[in-house]
Amino acid sequence: MTIDFLSKTRFGHDSNEVFKMSTIDFNSVEDIGSTEFIETLNKYITAFQTNQLPRLKELKRYYLADNNIKYRETGRDANRADNRIASDWAKYITVFMQGYMLGNPIAYDSDDEGLIDKINDFSKQNGADYHDGLIETDLSIYGRAYELVYSNDEAQECITKLEPEQTFVVYDDTIAANSLFGVRFYQIKYSSTEINSFVEVYTANNIYYYKSDMASFTGMTFVDMAEHAYDGVPINEYKNNEERLGDFESVLDGIDAYDLSQSELANFQQDLNDAYLVIKGNPVTGTAEPEYQTDLDGELIIDDNGHPIPTANSSTDAFDKMKAARMLVLDNNNDPDGPTPDAFYLTKTYDATGAEAYKKRLVDDILRFTFTPDTNDQNFAGTQSGEAMKYKLMGNDNLRKTKERLMTRGIMRRLRLLGNVWSIKNSVSTTGKQEGLYNLINDVQVKFTPNVPQNDEERVSQLKQLYGVISDETLFSLLETFTGVDAETEIKRLADEKQKEVDNFQLQTGYAQLKPDDGDVNG
C-alpha cells in the first residue's frame, strides 16, 4: 500500500460526489433488466469503486486505529528503532458523539396514541435503539449512512443497516433531489478462485437482482425482480452534514502529526536504551583486503538484498559487527599527542518540554476542530454546575443540533415508508381515518435527549421550584430522565396510590360507603 504521508491532497475531488441521473433519462428506461440499464448501472458502480471507495476505506481504517503512520516509509537503517504508533482519536471522537446523541433512546410524540403505540412496537421488535446507534456511528465515520426498510418472510416490517462501502443512492436532477433508485452491491467468496458478484437495485416499487460469476461487476446479468409496497425507494440515506463529512475527517492531518510525534518519541527512547558505546584509543581493526568478496571471475558476490558481501575482518565487516553490537571502536593512535583512550555513549538531547507542548497543541486542535470537549481538562469536573457544563459543551451542542435535524429527516422518511405499508394493511388503530395516516405521521415529533452528566441534586431542586407553576404532566415529563417513567404512567401511579390510601383509611376507621341494593327501592 502506497501512502502519501502528510502530503498532497488526501482525497480526490469526486471522492464524495452525490450520484444523479436525469429524470427524463430514467423515465425513458423501459426495462431495468435491459443491457442498456445494466451498462449505466455498471458505470455508477465503477465510479463509486474508483473515486469514493478509497475515501470510505481510509476513514474506516482510522476508526480501527489503522492510521497512515503504519504505512509511512521512513528509510531508517535496520539497526535503528522504527516504531509506528497509531492513536485511537477517530474512535474516541465517534464514540463520544454517538453516546452524546443517542445514549438516551429516541422518543416519539404525537396526539394519536394508536400511532405512537405502533411506532414503539415496531422500534422494540427491530431493536431500533441499537440500530439508530449504528446509523450514528456510520455517520460519524463516513459522513453518510444507509438503512433498508423491508418486509421479512412473515410480512413483518423490518429495518437493517447497510454498509456505506457497498451502498449508494442515485437522485434525480430536480431541486427536490428525489431518490430514483438505491444500489447495494457485494461479493461472496466461495474459494480463492471462485468469487461471485451480486447487485440489488431498489426503485419506488420494485427490487431488481443482478449477478456476475466473476470478481467484477462488468459481466452481471439480470436474474429476478420482486415487488414491494413501500411506495418509495426503501434504501434510506442519512447525512452527517450537508458536505457528508465524517466527524474526524477534518483533523486527519492532526491525527497523523500526533502519531508521528508519539512514534518519534518512542524511537528516541528505544535508541537511547540501545545507544552506541564509543571506545577510543584501540588498535586499528578491520584490515583484511579486498573489502568485498568476489567469485573466481573477480565479480562481486551479492546477497539476497542485492548488497555486496564484505570480506571477513574488512573495514566494512568490522563496522557492521560494531553496529550489531551497538558499539563503535575508534582508533586515535595516529594522534600527534599520542592516544587518548576514552569511552562514552553516543546520544542526542531530547527537548522534553518542547515536545510535550507540541503534543498538547495537537491534542487541543484535534478536540477543538471536532467540537469534542476535553474530559481530561481539570476544569471539566463533576463538581461544576449545570450552567458551567453547558458552556463547556456549547460547541458540541451546536454540532449536535445540526446532526439531529438531519437525522430527523431520515427517521421521518423511514416512518413515511412504513406508513405506506401500515395504511395498506390497516394495521394502525388511529383516532382518525386510515387515509389520514400520512398526515398523522408528518405530525410525529422526534425527540432527542442528550446523554450528559447531570447534577441530580441541582436538577431536582430546580424541578421542585416548578411545582405548582407548570402542569403536573409537564413536570413529570421533565422528571422522566431521573425516574425512567413517562408522565402518563407516573400520574396513573400517583392516582392509584391516593386511592389506596383512601381505601386503607376507610378500613381502619370502619367507615364504608354504603351502596343501595339494586332491588331495594328505599335504600
| Residue found by looking up cell 463529512 in the block | 245
pLDDT in tens, 404-426: 999 999 999 999 999 999 999 88
Higher pLDDT, 328 or 224: 224
Residues 255 and 92: beta-carbon distance below 8 Å: no
Q: Is the pTM of this model over 0.85?
A: no
Examine the pLDDT at 522 and tell me if it is beyond 60.
no
Mean pLDDT for the stretch of residues 369-380: 76
Q: How many CA atoms lie within 13 A of 431 on its CB side?
A: 7
Sequence ranges of the domains in the chain: 1-269+355-453, 276-346, 465-523
CA 516, 517, 521, 523: dihedral to nearest 10 degrees?
A: -30
Alpha helices in 240-281 (DSSP H): 252-273
Which residues fall within 8 angstroms of residue 169, CB to CB, at 6 or more apart? 19, 146, 179, 181, 182, 183, 233, 235, 237
Tracing cell 563496522 back to the chain, one arrives at 319
Give per-residue pLDDT as tens, 448-488: 988 876 655 666 676 677 777 778 777 777 777 666 677 77
Per-residue pLDDT at 430 exceeds 60:
yes
Q: What digits encode the pLDDT tens for the residues 250-299? A: 999 999 999 999 988 888 877 766 666 676 666 666 667 787 888 888 78
Q: Is the pLDDT of residue 327 over 90?
A: no
Contacts of range 429-437, beta carbons closer than 8 Å, 24 or more positions apart:
429/114, 429/117, 429/118, 430/112, 430/114, 430/115, 431/111, 431/112, 431/113, 431/114, 432/112, 437/115
Orientation of helix 128-142 relative to helix 394-425, angle to 10°: 130
Mean pLDDT for the chain overall = 84
Please check whether residue 173 is in contact with residue 20, taking contact to mean a CB–CB distance below 8 angstroms.
Answer: yes
The CA distances from residue 492 to 362, 471, 488, 496, in Å, are 54, 15, 6, 6
> CA dihedral in degrees (134, 137, 142, 144; nearest 10)?
60
